Amino acid sequence: MNGYTPQSYKTDLKPVWCPGCGDFGVLNSLYRALAELKFEPHDTVVVSGIGCSSRLPGYVESYGFNSLHGRGLPIATGVKLASPALKVIAVGGDGDGIAIGGNHFLHAARRNTDLTYIMMDNEIYGLTKGQAAPTTPLGDKTKSTTYGNPEAAVDPCALAISFGATWVGRGFSGDVKGTAELMKQAIAHKGFAFLNIISPCVTWRGDDQHKEIREKIKAGEIEIGVLHEVVKPTLVDEMLEIRWKAQGDKQPPTRKELLGAFGTTF
């Protein structure tokens, strides 16, 4: 492809998010990041789970997979292990990734799978009409917590660091340029890179969310940028090392030899 621009990665599908949704900003940041990194669409894979934000693969001109609720990361891991040369980006919401998908988040991070995980954090279950999510602040009133949320909120970035992610950052969907820069760093990182993007849900969290978040960022109450970065061997690196120990410089067994090891004759 010649002449990379954000437009190069747009599909014919029009986003169906609510007007004012923070995910529009995330999508535009991704277009910009891919264009500046000059990624070929056929070398890029975007995988998601289920939820408002998980519609994103359909809007990006690349290989895409819209999987089951909370199952984006195991699919993305399989893609990366099967074809390590591909650039793999997993996307989803906070409910998708921390609640039903929390176990997969843990294992993808601790394995240091070489992929980028972008979480669009709106502090609510938006697609199912406004129930409290793992990131919903304590005391907040939602459709499922009429008198206030009784549970403490989870910090996705702290969680990622504790799981062993080797790159962790936080962005804001209202800052398209800044978020695109963070995406570029996350994608370029060799290992499991987790980017938590604060992406306001104006429908269930209120029209003033963008303004409130900007004020908190300006006041230093919310830290934006790269929060953690270390260098470690990736899962693919470790598996290649094990294969070398087992196989050395020998040629891999043929299909016939493999079947013969199990006593089959066909």
The CATH number of residue 60's host domain is: 3.40.50.970
Residue 250, in any domain of the structure: no
Query: What span, in angstroms and rounded, lies between the C-alpha atoms of 48 and 18?
Result: 19
Residue 262 lies in a domain: no
How sure is the predictor about 235, in pLDDT bands with cuts at 50, 70 and 90?
very high
Look at residue 246 and tell me if it is in a domain.
no
Does 188 map to a domain?
yes
Strands laid side by side in the 44-48 sheet = 63-66, 44-48, 87-93, 116-121, 193-198, 167-172, 225-229
Q: Among candidates 12, 101, 7, 9, which has minimal Cα distance to 54?
A: 101
Is residue 48 a part of any domain in this protein? yes
| Whole-number average pLDDT of the chain | 93
State residue 256's pLDDT score.
Answer: 86
**pLDDT above 70: residue 118:** yes
Examine residue 44 and state whether it is found in any structural domain, yes or no. Answer: yes
Output the pLDDT for position 60: 97
Note the Cα 107 to chain centre separation in Å.
14
pLDDT above 80: residue 2: no
Q: Over the stretch 141-166, which tens digit does the pLDDT of each residue have?
A: 988 999 998 999 999 999 999 999 99
The count of domains in the chain is: 1
Domain that holds residue 228: 6-232
Rg (CA), the chain: 20
pTM of the model: 0.91
Nearest to 199 by CA among 96, 105, 107, 106: 96
Average pLDDT over residues 24-51: 96
Spatial separation of the C-alpha atoms in residues 188 and 135, rounded to whole Å: 27
* 126 against 187, higher pLDDT: 187
In a domain, 156, yes or no: yes
Domain-embedded: residue 35: yes
Query: Taking the mean position of all CA atoms in its chain, how far away is CA 22?
Result: 15
| N- to C-terminal Cα separation, the chain | 45
Residues 204-213: tens digit of each pLDDT = 988 888 999 9
